[in-house]
Amino acid sequence: MSEKHRKFISTVIYWGLILLLCWVGIRYVLLWLLPFLLALGVASIMEPTVCFLREKLRLRRGFISAILSFVLLALLFAVAVSLTAAMLWQVREQSYEALLQSTEETLNDLVDDFGTAVYRSSTDGLDSLSRKVLLTYCFRSCSVPGSALVVNGECLSASARIDPERYLDVHCGSTQSARAYAGGRHFLILGRVTDVWGMDCSVYLAADATYIYSQLWQLSGRFALLALSIGLLGLGAVYWMISRTLRPLSRLSEAAGSIADGNYSQRVPVVSQDEVGTLAGNFNRMALAVETHVDTLREQNERQKLFVGAVTHELKTPLTSLLLNVNTLRNVYLPEEKQEALLTSMDAQLHWLETMVRKLLTLLSMKKNAKIAPVSVPELLTQVRELTRPIMEKYGTSLEITCNGDILPVDKDLMCIALVNLVENSAKASAPGQTIRIQASEMGFTVTDHGRGIPEKDLQRVTDPFYMGDPSRSKANGGFGLGLALVREIAAVHGGTLVLESTLGEGTTARIVIGNQTVTCR
């Protein structure tokens, strides 16, 4: 065999196999691939609609897809029901057509056999009654089940289960049919008229058609089961898609309920970048803000409780002493010099109480009474210098002021109180001859000394009301533990903070950092 023939045979075999595979694919495989191909086509059609609705309604893609899938499933179910009904109607009509043809053939044979039997019979000399008997005999000799003979309106023979004349009125020369329902069964009735001995003989044949409806019911049940299965699978898929889409919302609801129950640390995972993901992120930020606010309120509440307890404790001792001294003066005879000493002690205690109450009132009412306005920094510092002059003379220290700014929006009186308290604390901690420095800048005020400093263990607590690192030294200097607390609150009123830096034996630096404020410098 030549190379040309081998090549030709190989080509034929190759294309034959290709055609065979194509035929097998179309004949067997395409039926199984058809649902997937249809699903791919539907998905490609739904994609533009999903994108459009997502842009317009601002909903999740999965939720829109689930809703459209449900609508499409409903439409497909309605179309399937309509097509099934049409197909079942077509099957019924085809079944009736086949039954009609077979029954008509049987009827024609019956009429022919009946006519042959009649014309073979002699009727000479027979009266009308005898002829009817003869016709009945001839018909019964060739009749089939379900047949009937009616002569001149009188039924001579009938094996049918129904009265055919009730449903069918036949005319000469034609075969007519009708459908009937009687006794729980369906019938197809055919009738034909033939002339015998000058009489109109109507021959009827009734065929049982109940099996047609039995088959239809079986087919309907199968289609219904198939539609129900597909519908349940489709609804299950849609439910899964919707539940998957709404799961983040359910988590949000549970988290909101948990926060409402007091679990402010509750958060939800952000698993997407769509609208629900944005909502989850905003929810987490809200929860964080709520948690922070609640923690702040709790801290403030605890501080308030401690403050009230400290105030009660600090006021209890001098008030008790004053009451005892008053009771002594009223009930006990004392020499004049002892009375004078007792009155002097009471006067000092009253002045101590007056000073402490004044500071407490300032501490409690400053936020309400604060009046922040542009203030000349040099004038403010000049006032501070005059107010602290007696303090400097008392402790033998000096004050150095540096001003790097001109205008600063503050409450002048409150800021004077804050700076005076810081200078007084520095003077108490400094040795005679040392210098205390005040510096004004764009960020606020700084007070620096070179005194004994503040221990590290006390540095975080010295701004608490009534806290004194060395109570004996503080009380000896007339302290109440309110100075730095007052300064801290004044800084907070101005939107800032009080920053303390201290080293034992080297000194302390206190900065009043004013928040969101600026100094206009020259």
The pLDDT value recorded for residue 456 is 81
> Does residue 70 belong to any structural domain of this protein?
no
331 and 395: one domain?
A: no
493 and 505: one domain?
A: yes
The pLDDT value recorded for residue 364 is 62
Q: What are phi and psi of 192, to 5 degrees?
A: -145, 140
359 and 377: one domain?
A: no
Q: How far is CA 371 from CA 163, 442, 444, in A?
A: 112, 20, 17
359 and 416: one domain?
A: no
CB atoms within 10 A of CB 160: 19
The pLDDT value recorded for residue 447 is 94
Q: How far apart are CA 61 and CA 63, in angstroms?
A: 5
CATH number of the domain enclosing 178: 3.30.450
Would you give per-residue pLDDT tens digits along the chain (522 residues)? 677 777 777 888 888 888 887 777 766 666 566 566 666 666 666 667 666 666 665 556 566 666 766 677 777 777 777 877 888 788 888 888 888 888 888 888 888 888 888 877 766 667 778 878 888 888 888 888 888 888 877 788 887 777 777 777 766 557 788 888 887 788 888 888 877 776 778 888 888 888 888 887 887 777 777 777 776 776 666 666 666 666 666 777 777 778 777 787 777 777 666 666 777 778 788 888 887 888 877 776 776 665 566 556 556 656 777 788 788 877 877 787 877 887 887 787 777 677 667 766 665 665 566 778 888 888 889 888 888 888 888 899 999 998 876 888 888 878 888 898 899 889 988 999 999 999 988 788 999 999 988 888 777 777 776 666 555 444 445 455 667 877 888 888 888 888 898 888 889 999 998 865 443 332
444 and 316: one domain?
A: no
Enclosing domain of residue 456: 372-522
What secondary structure does DSSP assign to 71-85, as a single string?
Answer: HHHHHHHHHHHHHHH
* Final residue before a domain boundary, out of 157, 182, 215: 215
Cα angle for residues 359, 365, 367 (degrees, 5° grid): 120
The pLDDT value recorded for residue 518 is 40
Sign of the Cα pseudo-torsion (251, 256, 262, 265, in order): positive
350 and 381: one domain?
A: no
103 and 115: one domain?
A: yes
> Does residue 248 belong to any structural domain of this protein?
no
The pLDDT value recorded for residue 38 is 63
* Final residue before a domain boundary, out of 153, 180, 215: 215
CATH number of the domain enclosing 361: 1.10.287
Q: How far apart are CA 179 and CA 190, in angstroms?
A: 9
> Does residue 123 belong to any structural domain of this protein?
yes
What is the distance, to the nearest Å, from the Cα of residue 120 to the centroid of all Cα atoms in its chain?
A: 93
The pLDDT value recorded for residue 400 is 92
Which H or E element spans position 342?
A: helix 336-369
- CB within 8 Å of 451: residues ≥ 6 apart: 426, 428, 429, 430, 431, 434, 507, 508
* Final residue before a domain boundary, out of 343, 369, 395: 369
Q: What pTM, to 2 d.p., does this model score?
A: 0.40
Q: How far apart are CA 490 and CA 487, in angstroms?
A: 5
The pLDDT value recorded for residue 474 is 47
> Does residue 395 belong to any structural domain of this protein?
yes
440 and 387: one domain?
A: yes
384 and 503: one domain?
A: yes
Strand-pair category, 185-196 with 199-208 = antiparallel
Total domains in the chain come to 3
